[in-house]
Amino acid sequence: MTTYLVPLVLVGGLTSAGVYLLLERNLTRMLLGLLLIGNAINLLLLMVGGPSGNPPVRGRTSNGGSATADPLAQGMILTAIVITMGVAAFVLAMAYRSYRLTTEEEVGNDPEDAKVSEKAAKDAAAVEEDRPQHVPERDTDQADELDALPGYEGSK
C-alpha cells in the first residue's frame, strides 16, 4: 500500500491547529478547533479506507477498476460527520447561552473549582509538613536489617 505524504501532513496540520484552538478559553475558537479535528479524522478515515475502486454494488464498474472500494470507511465518515455536527450544535448552543448570561464569550474561572483547588493546595501543604525531614537512601551496598532475612544471599 502506498502512503501519500501530503494527506498525512494535512491531517497532522489540521489536528495540531484544532488542538491549539481547543486550548483557548474562547467558545468560538473551541468550536473551530472541534471542527478542524473532525475534518482531520474524516480525512484520516478516507486515507485508511484504501484505494478507490468499483462501487460496492454488485455488477457496477467504474473506469474499468478491478477492485471494489471498501464501503466501511465511507460509512464511518458519514457517521463522523453527523456526530461532529451534533457536537458543533451543542457548543453553539452553549456559547449562545453563555453569551446571553454573561455578555462575554470568554470562559471564566469557576468559583467552585477555585475552592477545590485551594483546598487541595492546603491539604498538600499539610501532608508536606507531616513528612519526616530526613529520608534515608533506598539502596546501599552496606549491610542493613533486610540482609538478615532468612534465605537472603545478599552481601553481608
In CATH, what number is assigned to the domain containing residue 90?
A: 1.10.287.3510
Check pLDDT > 60 for residue 153: no
Domain limits at 2?
1-54+71-103
pTM of the model: 0.63
Q: Does some domain include residue 147?
A: no
Q: Does some domain include residue 3?
A: yes
User: Which percentage of the chain shows pLDDT scores above 70?
Assistant: 79
Q: How many domains does the chain have?
A: 1
Q: Does some domain include residue 140?
A: no
Query: Got the DSSP string for 46-89?
Result: HHHT----B-SSTT--STT--SBPPHHHHHHHHHHHHHHHHHHH
Q: Does some domain include residue 44?
A: yes
pLDDT at 11: 94
Q: Does some domain include residue 5?
A: yes
Check pLDDT > 60 for residue 124: yes
pLDDT at 151: 58
Q: Does some domain include residue 13?
A: yes
